[in-house]
């Protein structure tokens, strides 16, 4: 499975949205469901999917679909 597929799957699973809903505007500011629990669930999915351990600062900054890709790039995950 490609990195973008794993990444998208985390958001689909956590938020129960269709993959087509994911774009760079998908964020905690636009999703009323996006709370701290959902944010931690995304982190857990991504850490497992990519076999990484995110730094606390990265966990706190995982507040949008776009930012998540930027964060994961620092862990050598390419989309």
The pLDDT tens digits for 40-54 are 999 999 999 999 999
What residues does each domain of the chain span? 3-17+24-73
Q: What is the pLDDT of residue 1?
A: 83
Overall pTM surpassing 0.85 (yes/no): yes
pLDDT of 27 strictly over 90: yes
Question: Of 2.60.40.420, 1.10.1200.10, 3.30.450.20, 3.40.50.300, which CATH number belongs to 3-17+24-73?
Answer: 1.10.1200.10
Contacts of 77 (CB under 8 A, 6+ apart): 3, 50, 52
Q: What is the pLDDT of residue 42?
A: 97
What integer best gives the mean pLDDT of the chain?
A: 96
The candidate with the shortest Cα–Cα distance to 79, out of 19, 21, 8, is: 8
Q: What is the pLDDT of residue 28?
A: 96
Q: What span, in angstroms and rounded, lies between the C-alpha atoms of 1 and 37?
A: 26
Q: What span, in angstroms and rounded, lies between the C-alpha atoms of 28 and 48?
A: 22
Contacts of 73 (CB under 8 A, 6+ apart): 79
């Amino acid at each position: 499975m490609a990195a973008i597929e794993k990444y998208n799957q985390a958001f689909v699973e956590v938020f129960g949205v269709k993959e087509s809903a994911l774009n760079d505007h998908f964020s905690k500011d636009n999703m009323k469901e996006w709370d701290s629990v959902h944010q931690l669930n995304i982190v857990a999915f991504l850490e497992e999917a990519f076999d990484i351990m995110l730094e606390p600062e990265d966990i706190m900054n995982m507040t949008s679909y776009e930012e998540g890709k930027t964060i994961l790039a620092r862990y050598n995950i390419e989309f």
